[in-house]
Homo-oligomer: A and B are copies of this chain.
Amino acid sequence: MNSHVPVPTIRRLPSYLRLLREAAANRMEFISGTYIANDLKLEPIQVRKDLAITGVVGKPRMGFAVIELIQAIEELLGWTNASDAFLVGVGSLGIALMGYDGFKEYGLKVVAGFDVDPEKIGKQFHGKKVFDLNKFAELAKRMGICTSILTVPAQYAQDVTDILVAAGIKGIWNFTPIKLQVPDDVIVEKVDLAASLAVLSSKLQARQHNKMRE
């Protein structure tokens, strides 16, 4: 079926989903690619190409059935029912992510935290308990957890990853700046804050230089 979907397209799907859910809440039945493009400041052709990968066929003059699109995108992303995840590394970022409500819209639910710091173990943050990291494998197995959020300090990233992999974790959302080594059957997605900041500051820097030259 969806033999290959471009990653940039996948990355745009959540914005479509957000708009579509809003449209559905407003009792809209059909929505055109042009309308979506306008709202999200994208090109209509790009929206059509992106939506094509859902397999939903639109009606000329009318657009796409909103509900049908929503379901197709949720299906494609695996967001039909939220999957539970363990978070490892209960630092300030970890605590923030444990409390981030937004994830429930995105098919992810953090159910517990793990750390090695005795100060943190046993505590609760945003209503979620923190366990000892050496209980990870046991609890992951018992609760059937296969997704993990990694928010440990950089120097422990690979070692902790090895523990997660050994415990049967198949998807790692990596907030560390380390390129993790994992077996072929484990998927790592990196949120690279340094990379993002680099893009912002280099553009600001370039802008500054251009101004000077004027």
A residues whose Cβ falls under 8 Å from a Cβ of B: 1-2, 5, 7, 10-15, 18, 40-41, 76-79, 83, 92-93, 95-97, 99-100, 102-103, 105-108, 126, 146-147, 170-171, 173, 177, 179, 181, 185, 187, 189-209
Which of these, B18, B97, B190, B200, contacts A189 with CB under 8 Å? B200
Q: How far is the CB of A145 from chain B (nearest CB, A)?
A: 12
Asked if B83 and A93 sit within 8 Å, CB to CB, the answer is no
**A18-B177, A93-B100 given; A77·B198 CB < 8 A:** yes
Which of these, B78, B100, B203, contacts A205 with CB under 8 Å? B78
- Per the bound structure, the CA–CA distance linking A205 and B187 in Å amounts to 11
Residue with the highest number of chain B CB atoms closer than 10 Å, among A102, A171, A200 = A200
- Per the bound structure, the CA–CA distance linking A200 and B209 in Å amounts to 38
Asked if A177 and B15 sit within 8 Å, CB to CB, the answer is yes
Give 5 A-B pairs besides A11-B196, A78-B208 with Cβ atoms closer than 8 angstroms.
Answer: A1-B209, A10-B202, A41-B181, A96-B97, A170-B204
Q: How far is the CB of A156 from chain B (nearest CB, A)?
A: 14
Asked if A192 and B11 sit within 8 Å, CB to CB, the answer is yes
Taking CB atoms, residues of chain B closer than 8 Å to A103 are: 197
**6 pairs from A and B in contact (CB 8 Å cutoff):** A11-B195, A11-B199, A77-B198, A92-B95, A103-B197, A170-B204
In the complex, the chain B residue whose C-beta lies closest to that of A171 is B204
Asked if B201 and A77 sit within 8 Å, CB to CB, the answer is yes
Which of these, B96, B192, B201, contacts A79 with CB under 8 Å? B201
Asked if B10 and A199 sit within 8 Å, CB to CB, the answer is yes
- Per the bound structure, the CA–CA distance linking A15 and B208 in Å amounts to 24
Asked if B92 and A100 sit within 8 Å, CB to CB, the answer is yes
Taking CB atoms, residues of chain B closer than 8 Å to A202 are: 5, 10, 13, 76-78
